[in-house]
């Protein structure tokens, strides 16, 4: 309703009507609107009002740049943002309709096969996924199917397959074992050993083992597991027993770090026992969430029966992902990052992240009441704990840092070292030396107050708040 020239001021003028499908004429906007939270509103809401309501609520989220808990990329450049916006309506599964997006996916697989030293990058098999969790599921399925084919009679008679891994694995591996009925043989931590060792891995292998999972970059402390040692121990195990146990490398983070910073480290397809590798493009692959990658050494490592052919999208296309429809934007962004940065650019960024991590770890160690568990010299990630006799614990530190906006998770280690609680710092692209110094200043500023506590707050009845994030 519009007011015409000469119309008097009155009830109609005060109501200032809104046409939600056309234009907003109400100056109060979201100030007077309390939308239903758990049901649809009865009438449409004007776009600017709906935007403002949601925008204002999201201000309660933490600042992504100060989030030192997550491994996930929190910034890309404007050109990547533009490409992703242009591709947000493209369905990755529809390879006949969007053949060039599919071609970019194939190029990314080839780039990773070359980066991870596949014997013949052209023969390597791989795909994009929504993240490392889906990639791990696919790799686990391939391991189980290969074992089942070799042990069909025993499996039919009730033999139960098992998967050997450290207790520090990401929860997706426990999900895999639960969903696909595989026994999870988790190796607990012990003493100063915070991840899987070759000796402990082999000790749990038998004729029902479908594979061993090695982690290139534990989310608990940022350390690399000894993949080459595990493979060598399994080589010796095969010589003794005749049992051929493949290795899958969960390189969720390290798969995009080690090739650039630790080129002499053998963890990838250079080791003949490594059958498959996964990585997160949205972690140190430098792409927004969610994109991951799963690669197999060759076609033999990925059973053909796991690859499905679909033809109702306009052409017969293979697919072996768990998901079906998903956006192509992240895959395009991954190819952009590869093209834009090249080997030299990735090396520079990952080295800068590691430099900041090592600097920050060393400075925190000088503060007095802290002890380093790792120092950021593998993944750009480190963990530290409080020394004995402190009147505060890691949960107190995490809580106080959050008051300044820093999200630094505090959590206890898993089975074997549940007595150990740590803080963990993830240094990602964008976390600069300047921000590291600001974090140090805030940490030093709050230490005198924490040291005046009579005891850790958890001992005074305040519950601990776990802040662990993969």
Give the integer Cα–Cα distance in Å for 355 and 54: 38
| Token pair for 376 | 């950021």
Whole-structure pTM value: 0.89
pLDDT of residue 82: 96
- What do you get for the CA distance between the two ends of the chain, in Å? 53
Return phi, psi of residue 436, to 5°. Answer: -60, -40
Q: Which long-range contacts (CB under 8 A, 24 or more apart) does 458-464 make?
A: 458/393, 458/395, 458/396, 464/395, 464/410
CATH code assigned to 349-460 = 3.90.1150.160
| Token pair for 128 | 């994009």
Residues of the chain with CATH 3.40.640.10: 79-338
Contact 123, 171 (CB under 8 A): no
Give the integer Cα–Cα distance in Å for 7 and 20: 24
Q: Is the dihedral angle over the CA atoms 245, 246, 252, 253 positive or is it negative? A: positive
What DSSP designation does 376 have?
S
Give the integer Cα–Cα distance in Å for 115 and 169: 24
| Token pair for 339 | 């093209």
pLDDT of residue 27: 60
Q: From 3.40.640.10, 3.40.190.10, 1.10.10.10, 1.20.1290.10, which CATH number describes the 79-338 domain?
A: 3.40.640.10
CA neighbor of 137 nearest in space, from 106, 175, 107, 164: 175
pLDDT of residue 98: 80
Residues of the chain with CATH 3.90.1150.160: 349-460
Contact 222, 188 (CB under 8 A): no
Contact 134, 280 (CB under 8 A): no
| Token pair for 198 | 């070759």
pLDDT of residue 450: 95
pLDDT of residue 42: 86
CA neighbor of 293 nearest in space, from 33, 59, 18, 104: 104
pLDDT of residue 20: 53
pLDDT of residue 13: 45
Question: What does pLDDT average to in each consecutive run of 10 residues of the chain (470 residues)?
Answer: 43 49 55 77 85 89 90 93 92 77 91 95 88 94 96 95 97 95 97 96 98 97 98 98 98 97 98 97 95 93 80 58 82 97 98 98 95 97 95 95 95 96 97 96 96 84 57
Cα–Cα distance list, 443 to 301, 370, 397, 400, 423 (Å) = 49, 11, 8, 9, 12
Q: Enumerate residues 6+ apart whose C-beta is below 8 A from 272.
A: 231
pLDDT of residue 88: 86
Beta bridge partners of 250: 215, 278
């Amino acid at each position: 309703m519009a007011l015409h020239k000469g119309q008097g001021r009155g009830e109609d003028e005060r109501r200032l009507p809104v046409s939600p499908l056309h234009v907003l004429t109400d100056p109060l906007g979201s100030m007077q609107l309390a939308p239903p939270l758990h049901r649809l509103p009865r009438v449409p809401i004007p776009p600017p009002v709906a935007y403002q309501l949601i925008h204002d609520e999201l201000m309660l989220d933490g600042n992504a740049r100060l989030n030192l808990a997550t491994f996930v990329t929190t910034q890309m450049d404007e050109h990547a943002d533009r490409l992703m916006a242009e591709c947000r309506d493209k369905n990755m599964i529809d390879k006949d309709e969007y053949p060039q997006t599919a071609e970019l996916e194939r190029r990314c697989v080839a780039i990773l096969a070359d980066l991870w030293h596949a014997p013949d990058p052209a023969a390597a098999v791989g795909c994009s996924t929504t993240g490392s969790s889906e990639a791990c599921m696919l790799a686990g399925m391939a391991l189980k199917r290969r074992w089942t084919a070799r042990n069909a009679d025993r499996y039919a008679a009730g033999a139960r397959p098992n998967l050997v891994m450290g207790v520090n694995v990401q929860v997706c591996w426990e999900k895999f074992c639960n969903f696909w009925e595989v026994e999870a043989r988790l190796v607990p931590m012990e003493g100063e050993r915070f991840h899987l060792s070759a000796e402990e891995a082999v000790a749990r292998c038998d004729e029902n083992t479908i594979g061993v999972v090695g982690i290139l970059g534990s989310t608990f402390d940022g350390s690399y597991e000894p993949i080459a040692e595990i493979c060598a121990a399994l080589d010796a195990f095969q010589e003794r027993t005749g049992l051929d146990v493949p290795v899958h490398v969960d390189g969720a983070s390290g798969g995009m770090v080690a090739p650039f910073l630790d080129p002499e480290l053998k963890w990838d397809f250079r080791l003949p026992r490594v059958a498959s590798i996964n990585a997160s493009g949205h972690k140190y692959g430098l792409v927004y969430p969610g994109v991951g990658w799963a690669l197999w050494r060759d076609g033999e490592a990925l059973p053909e029966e796991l690859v499905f052919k679909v033809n109702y999208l306009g052409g017969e296309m293979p697919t072996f992902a768990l998901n079906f429809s998903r956006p192509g934007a992240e895959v395009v962004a991954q190819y952009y990052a590869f093209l834009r940065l090249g080997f030299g650019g990735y090396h520079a960024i990952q080295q800068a992240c590691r430099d900041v991590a090592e600097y920050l770890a060393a400075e925190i160690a000088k503060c007095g009441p802290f002890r380093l568990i790792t120092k950021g010299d593998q993944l750009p990630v480190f963990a530290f704990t409080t020394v004995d006799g402190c009147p505060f614990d890691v949960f107190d530190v995490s809580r106080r840092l959050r008051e300044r906006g820093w999200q630094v998770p505090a959590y206890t280690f898993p089975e074997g070292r549940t007595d150990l609680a740590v803080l963990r710092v993830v240094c990602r692209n964008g976390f600069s030396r300047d921000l590291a110094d600001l974090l140090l200043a805030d940490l030093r500023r709050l230490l005198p107050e924490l040291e005046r506590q009579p005891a850790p707050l958890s001992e005074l009845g305040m519950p601990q708040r776990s802040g662990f994030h993969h």
